Amino acid sequence: MSEREKQELENTGLPLNTQEEQEEDIQVSSSEFVPNSSALVNTVSQLSGIVSPYFIVLVGLYIYNSNFWIGIILVGVGIVSLFKISLSDVERWIESIKKLL
């Protein structure tokens, strides 16, 4: 920005923030909530992990009447999430079924 443009902006009466002032503002604002954020993040993460599978199942049951396939998929995803079934668990089940056949 040229000196002439800076003077014109100063004449408008608006505050001018330099790059250094903006960096200081960012550092101050980002460090205000750091001390308690890890405990808050952990709590929210745990609550989210508990509540979200139930929410998915409930939405699936609600949608089930109007759209069968989407409802079934959501209920299935919610149940898998509730029981904490991983892809490796499913692969083991498929392998054990193949061995039985």
- pLDDT for 21 equals 55
pLDDT tens column, 45-95: 888 888 999 999 999 999 999 999 999 999 999 999 888 888 899 899 999
- pLDDT for 18 equals 58
pLDDT category at 35 given cuts 50, 70, 90 is low
- pLDDT for 70 equals 94
Is residue 61 within 8 Å of 78, Cβ to Cβ?
Answer: no
- pLDDT for 55 equals 93
C-alpha to C-alpha distance for 49 and 43, rounded to whole angstroms:
10
Q: Which of 84, 85, 75 is closest to 54 using CA atoms? A: 75
CA dihedral 87, 89, 96, 70 (to 10 degrees): -60
- pLDDT for 19 equals 57
What the block records as the tokens of 12 is: 């408008």
pTM of the complete model beyond 0.75: no
Domain ranges of the chain: 51-101
Which residues, other chains included, contact 63 with Cβ-Cβ below 8 Å and sequence gap of 6+? 70, 71, 74
